[in-house]
Amino acid sequence: MNKSGYPHIDRPWLKFYDKYDLELPKVNLVEYLKQKNAKRGNKIGEIYYGNTFTYDEMWNNSDIASRVLSQLGVVKGQRILSITPNIPESAFLWFGAIQIGAVTDFIDPRPDSMDIKANAMKVFEVIKHEKINHIIALDKCYLGMLKPIENELKEYGIKNIIIVNTTDSMLKGKAEYMKDVMAYNELRNNRSINDNIKKLKNYQAMLLKIKELNQFDMMLKEAMSSSILNVYNYSDLVKECKNAKFYNVSEFELPIYIGHTSGTSGSRPKPIMLTNKNAISNLEQVINAKVGADEGNKALHILPFFAPFGAYDNYLLNIACGVSNIDIPEFEINEFGYLLKRHKPNSIMSTPAWIAALPTYEYLKNEDLSYIKKIIYGGDSMTAKEEVDLNNWLKEHNCPVVTEKGYGMSEFAGCGTYARAEYNKLETIGIPLCDTKFAIVDPEVDDKLVPLKFKDGQDRLFGELAISSDVVTEGKLDGEIIVPHYELDGDSYIRTRDLVEMDRDGIIYHKARKDLSFPRFDGFKVKPYEIEKVILDNKMVKNVALVSYYDDRQKGLMPRCNIVVNKELSDEEKLALVEEIVYKQIIGNSTTSSRQIPSKFIFRDKLPLTKNNKVDYNYLTKEQLDGNEINVDVVETNLTVENIHIYMNKVNDKTRKKIK
């Protein structure tokens, strides 16, 4: 058979699959998961601080959630905002909503700053823009992100708020929780030389945590009792709905999920709507690609629900494969090694920054890693040297497998390629999933797709990726086009803005992003032009260029800002300007996130230019730090911003600022 030379037509990667053109069951996602686990009713599907849930218990809890939501008046097609972390209730309420035909809209539960009103107004903007009908919130998020805007919520039409607590499903596991509090405190404040002092500090931290929890409970009760809305504890609603009924809605193409990714024309995270069909196609394809782990294994559930990669590939995939999810509601990067040693997961799915940092964790120094059966990263790539060094380190620690990797976007549920076995080559992102078509198109043409083809003797094809699949979002929300689609050879494609090379076997090598964006250490996509535009609004700023650098503290990429101002400034004036940019223009801005705050500000006389008189971002990225930068340390976990410190390395009384 003659080949056309066009990858999206020839699909050379299909030779690596035993089967393709999968048939999808026309049911809702929960029914699909129940079918997958029909013989696993008594097997453990969820682990949370000493408590376990079998699959039968998970489905029972999902039915309870359906009854609770129905009793509160939630109906098919309505949208439920969920501001919750990785706790069992997040999944049960999501599944419960799916069964009655409602859509769960997950947003980042982490507030952007200590400015409570600014955080709350950002949430309100999402509620209005995405037409939310009901709200589910973690208790902390209710106090910090909803209580300040209750008048606005009532005027908008919100009547009910359901409160969930991180400790509700712990039962006897609260002792396990306190164990983690002590360990985290040691990692976050490990400056004591004397071990006895460390133990004392950790014990004091535990007592302080207990005191904080008691004080918080009192604050929460007061806030709920004085609310002008109907604010319910989910645990109370569960007790009250025993006799309630619900009607199961099983419509294959019904929307069930809204996740969020970085913005396009603005910094507000853009909503990505996915349906039962999108979800089931994603799971069937990744299972067929052997991404999933073996039944009976345990996996860390650390990636968040508001990111499709976290909801689908780090959570639902495990459920579909009979793997027990270990829910991790809150942590920071330096605690990743502790989590591995503590839980000994058989399957790990993470960002490359966390995986590449494994050799640096003290907890893993002498750890036998023979329990790891699958280790996968996505969201960015590693260099060949990083991957070789990591695999050598894993082998030295008795890990029986090497790292595998994938590539994806929120627009198609987080996974579109996978690299394993003979196509798990260095610096590759693998081959397309079996029912996914990848076209290589001309990156210089923006208004339509111009496909590229292999020429005689050409081993690799370079261009921009465009993707067509049942997994891809329709790209619309209430008639607004969020993700544009393009027609090519009878199929609908979206552009990825990723520049790649594909070889003749269909194996793909990621090269760059067209918009110069890069992922932070935690996977959040930083788009330089978005934050540059915000900073340029300051009348003192003449020019600005944002690039990435490797941050030793976070063990991954962070943004650094090269800034040119209109006049010469003293050190004190530079600090004041950075403070103004951070607090007023980023944190105080409803369209930006604290994750976009540059952690280094470099004041320059001018920006370097290329021969074509454009800003030389490549030069700035390769430039080494010299210690003269202004540092912005954001002390953060995946749930909260605890502190922001703005300071210069050359410390004295006049030039140091500590902002709490």
- Is residue 655 very low, low, confident or very high in pLDDT (cuts 50, 70, 90)? very low
In a domain, 569, yes or no: yes
In a domain, 472, yes or no: yes
- Is residue 170 very low, low, confident or very high in pLDDT (cuts 50, 70, 90)? confident
User: What CATH number did the domain enclosing 605 receive?
Assistant: 3.30.300.30
Mind listing the pLDDT tens digit for each residue in 136-155? 999 988 988 899 999 999 99
Same domain for 620 and 538? Answer: yes
Cα gap 537→534, rounded to integer Å: 6
Considering only CA atoms, give the Rg of the chain. 25
Amino acid occupying residue 359: P
Least confident of 144-158, 216-230, 437-451: 216-230
- The pLDDT score that the predictor gives to residue 61 is 96
For residues 305 and 454, is the Cβ–Cβ distance under 8 A?
no
3-state secondary structure (DSSP) of residue 45 = strand
Same domain for 544 and 631? Answer: yes
Same domain for 628 and 604? Answer: yes
Residue 293 reports pLDDT greater than 70: yes
User: What CATH number did the domain enclosing 416 receive?
Assistant: 2.30.38.10
In a domain, 195, yes or no: no
Single pTM value for the model: 0.82
Of residues 639 and 148, more confidently modeled: 148
In a domain, 534, yes or no: yes
- The pLDDT score that the predictor gives to residue 22 is 92
Mind listing the pLDDT tens digit for each residue in 348-376? 998 887 888 899 888 899 999 999 999 99
Same domain for 484 and 539? Answer: no
The domain boundary, picked from 487, 513, 539, lies at: 513
Amino acid occupying residue 446: D
DSSP string, 201-237: HHHHHHHHHHHHHHHHHHHHHHHHHT-SSEEEEHHHH
Mean pLDDT of 481-503: 95
For residues 545 and 620, is the Cβ–Cβ distance under 8 A?
yes
Bridge-based pairing state of the strands 518-519 and 525-526: antiparallel
Same domain for 604 and 628? Answer: yes
For residues 351 and 324, is the Cβ–Cβ distance under 8 A?
no
Same domain for 508 and 529? Answer: no
Same domain for 474 and 533? Answer: no
Same domain for 566 and 587? Answer: yes
The domain boundary, picked from 513, 542, 561, lies at: 513
What is the pLDDT of the chain when averaged over all its residues?
A: 87
Residues 6+ apart with CB under 8 A from 132: 79, 80, 81, 105, 126, 158
Mind listing the pLDDT tens digit for each residue in 84-103? 999 999 999 999 999 999 99
Same domain for 494 and 607? Answer: no
Mean pLDDT of 317-329: 95
- The pLDDT score that the predictor gives to residue 114 is 60
Task: Tell me the three-class secondary structure of 274-301, residue by residue.
Answer: EEHHHHHHHHHHHHHCCCCCCCCCEEEE
Which residue segment(s) compose the domain that 476 sits in? 7-12+407-513
The domain boundary, picked from 481, 513, 545, lies at: 513
Mean pLDDT of 61-69: 97
Residues 6+ apart with CB under 8 A from 588: 115, 118
* Number of other CB atoms surrounding residue 10 within 10 Å: 17
In a domain, 201, yes or no: no
Residues 6+ apart with CB under 8 A from 626: none
Instruction: List the beta strands (DSSP E) in 429-490.
Output: 431-432, 436-441, 460-469, 476-477, 480-481, 486-488
In a domain, 602, yes or no: yes
* Cα→Cα distances 517→19, 107, 239, 557, 653, Å: 35, 21, 48, 11, 37
List the one residue out of 428, 543, 441, 451 whose CA is nearest residue 497.
Answer: 441
In a domain, 305, yes or no: no
Q: How many domains does the chain have?
A: 2
List the one residue out of 378, 379, 310, 633 whose CA is nearest residue 518.
Answer: 379
In a domain, 221, yes or no: no
Indicate the burial class of 98 (C-beta count within 10 angstroms; 0-12, 13-18, 19 or more).
buried
Same domain for 542 and 614? Answer: yes
Same domain for 440 and 473? Answer: yes
- The pLDDT score that the predictor gives to residue 200 is 44
Same domain for 455 and 557? Answer: no
